[in-house]
Structures are given as structure tokens and as C-alpha cells.
Amino acid sequence: MPSAILADPAEVTSSEAALRRFLHGLPGVDRVGTEARAAMLATRSIKTDAKVAAIDLAIRMIDLTTLEGADTPGKVRSLCAKALHPDPGAPDTPRPAAICVYGDLVAEAKAALGDFGVHVAAVATAFPSGRASLDVKLADVAYAVAAGADEIDMVIDRGAFLAGRYRDVFDEIVAVKAACARGEAAGGGSAHLKVILETGELSTYDNVRRASWLAMLAGADFIKTSTGKVAVNATLPVTLVMLQAVRDFREATGRQVGVKPAGGIRTTKDAMKYLVLVNETVGSDWLDPDWFRLGASSLLNDLLMQRQKLATGRYSGPDYVTVD
Amino acid sequence: MSERLEVLKTYKLYVGGKFPRSESGRVYAVTDSKGRTLANAPRGSRKDARDAVVAARKAFPGWSGATAYNRGQILYRIAEMLEGRREQFATEVAAAEGVNRTRALAAVDAAVDRWVWYAGWTDKLAQVAGGANPVAGPFANWSTPEPTGVVAVIASQRSSLLGLTGAVAPVIATGNTAVVLAAGASALPALSFAEVLAVSDLPGGVVNILTGHPAEIAPTLASHQDVNAIDLTGVAPDAGVASARDLEIAAADNLKRVLRPGPKEPDWTADPGTARMLAFTETRTVWHPTGH
């Protein structure tokens, strides 16, 4: 069925009209059914051994994020130190996948993280609004990549998307993807591109599905829900729609794309709900930091406190984790 | 016309200023002194205790940072609200403790008076327990009692309203927040008392009330790393719950302040003095240079 949706990727992106025909031809999202399914999966209980494994997996999936106007090099360094040693009292604690910062702090983060395998992700393209000229956005990306960013979190132009100028959004993602390429001097290759849909501004699940396909067709390595800067951030139903999209996209094209909910995920319980959603929607292929990430900051402390509880049998408290 | 059906109250926990059921969904039958069922009370679980501690911790900065005068006003307000419900509480105390109405009413009145008494103490304890210290140097030097933090209270299982007041009022008067476990005879009056707290301008989470089996909840509170002190008064030697000694050992892990239970039930009608307030404060001393 999904392969019927997408007979020829090159054809559907060949023109504005073809792209619109394809995106509007996607099956509509059953809002009630999607919300009911997400709510039902959220009631699953994860206990004992499974909980221990899930907490460690969730920690490994975190993009530990600080995206404030008040970010200082010192704050970024302390966040990096936390990523390298999340719980000094429990050296077996896994490390989060990446640190997520603004582009100008990439070099600082890169230096602080060393070669321990924790990536540096940079938000770019006039994050969070995306309201800047294409040249400025591409310069933003190139700067972060040159500074050593392993991953780029770009925002789509929601204004263009909502106005129906899908081709503009598509071309912009393609251009940013090209800007993610590292020079030969930097070892070649390309920074991973995460495309932020900002689902809180897309109004409908149908739009979320269309934006997901649009981003994937344009070459996104990851699709991400939100910037964390608007009223509505990641929700379970939106993530469910995006997971369905990456599942169908892989079936149609053979290429696997990752998903990253971000914003508002604060507790271990929230994280468990997302893991259940992944497992039940796309299966264990995505249960890996390479394919699923959680954009969060305070979540890590809650996971660490739960981890301490499971290890010692005593409830822990904020005195036993860092103040971020 | 058909006879009117009585509307019975569903007793619920009091956590973070709200009245949730136990997350476990369990209830247990609370009986009077003769073993007759009075009502079902929520049977709190370890997770309810955890949630209550989170609520108490969240409320601590606001409550400990409020002026002593403001805390006194709120404690006095609790007395006012309780006074208005004398009849209701007299009935509940009589049923729970198995005493006659006269004695129950006397206990309610004593509880109201005790709240007023502690309301007066909020802005006076620092003068009694602290003070300006003479030092040999150009410094002004003061000592002042500061609240300890989140205090777990295992309330008396015999003296329902007066015992509860005697244990909780001194804890919150000084700026601590409390997680109270009310079991035995205290359970139902304590949950009704939460309705008084909820309308007394007391910020949500300053007092949280759990009911259930002490053997299940008390060890969780005693070992909780985010609880700063524990009052074991309700763990009388003959109370038939986890022994106070075990709880004290569990509490030692994060150096909690522990108020040990006496050999027998305290006399709640006697003048309590400042001992209970001082049990949950820490003396902070400030040095400040004087001169030019």
C-alpha cells in the first residue's frame, strides 16, 4: 500500500503541482482513532527488568538540550560534563546521544565533549522561527557544520508550508542538506539533518503527515516534532502520526528515517510512553539512539532519580542530581 | 414520596492541595473502637508517598520563604475554619476514638486552641531559640532557627484530631512542609481535616495527608532521600507496625532528623512547649562585619 502511495519519488518532487498532488493525496489522518490509540498505548505499564532496560535506553536516546538566550560557554561546558558523567555515583550509567545547542556554542561543546562518542547537535536556519532569508539560513548551517556539529536541527518554513508553497519548503530542505556536507579538510561526509516540523504550528494531523513526507522526500535523516519554543510541543498523537510516516516511507523507498519528539517530555513516565509508542508502531528497528531521540533537558534528571530508586530501593530526590 | 437516600462521603487523600484517590486504586475499611466499619479510606501506596514528597518539596520554597507573620495568619485561619466545623469534627472524633460526645467536643476545642497557639509562635520562635551572640570581634552575630525541609509525620493513631494538630502544627509553623501518614483512629478525621486546610489559604503541598497501612508507607518515607526529617510519634511500641528502631535506621541513610516516639502516647492536652518546633529547625548563624 505505501509503495502504491509513492510510485516514483523523483516524479512527485518534479514540480510544485506534482508535489501538491502527492501530499494532498496522502490518506487523511483519523484524528479520533489516532488520539485514542496514543492514549491507549500510554496506559501500558513497564515494570522491573523492562523498566531498568527502558530507563537506560531512554538515557541513551536523549539529546540533552539547552537553547536559551542566556546560554553561556560555562553552561554548555557543565551540560557537556553532565553528558559525559550523568550520574557520578553510578559509573555504569549510559551517556545521552547528543548535546543540542545553538550554532555559536558548537565549538565550545565539541571541545568539552572530546572523543567519547557524544554528538553535538546544533539548531540552525534561524531557529526557532525560521524567518530569515535562505542565504542567512544556509550561512547559519555552514557555520555550525564548520564548527564541528555532527547533527543539524533545522526548522522548516511554516509560513510557506501553511501557504501551500510546498516546493519552497522542499527546496529549502534540499539546500540545507547540501550545506550539511563537510569539506574534504574536515574529513568529508555530512552532518545528520534533523528537520523540525514545529507541529504545534501546523494545526492538523493531516498537515503533520504531509510535512513528514515532504521532509523525508527532501532528504531528512530525522524528522523532529518541535522547537520547544511554542505553546504546543511534542504530543503522543503527533509522534504516532510521524512514526507511521517513517514506517510507510521505509516501506516505499527502503530508506529509514529517524524520529525525534522534543519539548515537554519531562518525566520517566513520559519517556516510557514514547518508547511504547515506537515499539508498537514501527517496531524495535527504531528502538535505538540512531533512529529515535528525545529532545529534553529536565528529563535526564528524572531518569537518573528513577535509576537510583531501582538500584537502591529508596526514592531519590533532587539533591542527588545536578542543578541544570 | 420516597425516603431520601443519605449521601455518603468518599474519603480521598490530600496531596499537593488536591484530593486524589490512591494511585493504587485500593481502599480499606476503617473501623471504630468496637470493630464496626465506619467508612472506606484510601489505602495509600509507596507511589502515593512519593507523589506527596514531590508535592511537599515543591511547596517548600514558597512556604519557608513566606514571612512568619503570613504563616501565623494562615495557621490562625485554619483555627477559624476548624471552629466553624466543631459539630462535624466532634461527631467524627467520637466515632473514630470511641469517646463520648462531651470528650470529643473538648478534643476539637483543644485542637482549635492549639492552632491559635502555634499561629502565635510563628513570629516569636526566632526570639526564643535564636538571638544576637556576643562575639570578640568587629562582627554582628545572630543565630536563627531555620526550617529543616520536608518532614514526614507518622501521626498518632489514637488521638485523631488533637494528636494530628499537635504533630502537624509545629512542623509547618516554622516553615517546613509535611507529609502526614494518618492511620488507625486518625484516618477519617485527618482526611476531613484536609478539607479545612484546603480552604485556609494554606498553599497546596504544605501539608499532604496519606492514609493506609503504616507498615507499607512508613518505611518508604523513612528511607526517602528527599525527606529531611521524620516524626515517629505514631509508631508507638505497642502500635503493631514496623518498629521505630527499623525506621530510624532507614532514616539514617540521608541523616534525617528523627523525633523518636516516647514510651507511651503523649498527653496532647498538656502544654506542648517549643520542643516539637525546635525538633524540626536548624540553627543558622550569620556573621556580619560591623564598623565603617
Q: What is the pTM of this model?
A: 0.90
CB-CB neighbors (< 8 A) of A319 in chain B: 225-226
Q: Is A153 a catalytic residue?
A: yes
Confirm whether B4 is domain-assigned: no
From CA A190, how far away is CA B187, in angstroms rounded? 64
Contact A319 B253 (CB under 8 A): no
- List all residues 6 or more positions away from B201 whose beta carbon is below 8 Å from its beta carbon: B73, B74, B77
pLDDT tens across the length of chain B (292 residues) = 789 999 999 999 999 999 999 999 999 999 988 889 999 999 999 999 999 999 999 999 999 999 999 999 999 999 999 999 999 999 999 999 999 999 999 999 999 999 999 999 999 999 999 999 999 999 999 999 999 999 999 999 889 999 999 999 999 999 999 999 998 889 999 999 999 999 999 999 999 999 999 989 999 999 999 999 999 998 866 555 558 889 999 999 999 999 998 888 899 999 999 999 999 999 999 999 987 6
Could you tell me how many CB contacts below 8 A there are between chain A and chain B? 27
Q: Please tell me the predicted confidence (pLDDT) of residue A283.
A: 95
Among the options A260, A270, A273, A302, which is catalytic?
A260
Q: Mapped to the 3 state alphabet, what secondary structure does A2-28 carry?
A: HHHHCCCHHHHCCCHHHHHHHHHHCCC
Neighboring chain B residues of A314 at a CB cutoff of 8 Å:
223-225, 253
**Would residue B12 count as lying in a domain?**
no
Tell me which of B51, B53, B225 to substitute to probe the interface with A (most A C-beta atoms closer than 10 Å). Answer: B225
Annotated active-site residue A51? The verdict is: no
**pLDDT value of residue A185:** 76
Q: Is A168 a catalytic residue?
A: no
Residue B16 lies in a domain: no
Domain holding B84, by residue range, is 27-289
For residue A7, pLDDT over 80 is answered with no
Rounded Cα–Cα distance for residues A69 and A91 (Å): 32
CATH code (residue B100): 3.40.605.10
Residue B9 lies in a domain: no
A162-220 confidence digits (pLDDT tens) = 999 999 999 999 999 999 998 877 777 899 999 999 999 999 999 999 999 999 999 99
Q: What is the radius of gyration, based on Cα positions, of chain B? A: 20
Q: Which residues of A touch B223 (CB under 8 A)?
A: 313-315
Residue B20 lies in a domain: no
B15 in a structural domain: no
Q: How many domains does chain B have?
A: 1
What per-residue confidence (pLDDT) applies to B271? 94
Q: What is the pLDDT of residues A269-313, one digit of tens each?
A: 999 999 999 999 999 999 999 999 999 999 999 999 999 999 999
User: Can you give the pLDDT at residue B237?
Assistant: 60
The SS3 call for residue A183 is coil
Q: For residue B53, give the nearest of A313, A315, A319 by CB distance.
A: A315
Average pLDDT, chain A: 94
Residue B167 lies in a domain: yes
Instruction: Check A315 against B57: CB less than 8 A apart.
Output: no
Averaged pLDDT for residues A222-234: 95
| Interchain CB contact of B53 with A (< 8 Å) | yes
Q: In chain B, which residue's Cα lies nearest the Cα of A302? A: B54
Query: Which of A315, A320, A321 to probe by mutation at the B interface, max B CB count within 10 Å?
Result: A315
Contact A318 B226 (CB under 8 A): yes
Find, in chain B, the residue whose alpha carbon is nearest to that of A316: B225
Q: Tell me: the pLDDT tens digits for A59-106?
A: 999 999 999 999 999 999 999 999 999 999 999 999 999 999 999 999
Report the complex ipTM: 0.84
Are the Cβ atoms of B224 and A315 closer than 8 angstroms?
yes
Q: Which three cell numbers stand for residue A145?
A: 557544520
Across the interface, whether the CB atoms of A315 and B253 are under 8 A apart is answered no
Domains and CATH numbers, chain A: 2-313 (3.20.20.70)
The count of other CB atoms within 10 Å of the CB of residue A19 is: 22
Model pLDDT, residue B242: 56
More confident residue, B154 or A2: B154
Q: Tell whether B165 is covered by a domain.
A: yes
- CA of A204, closest CA in chain B: separation in Å? 34
Of B49, B220, B226, the CB nearest to A317: B226
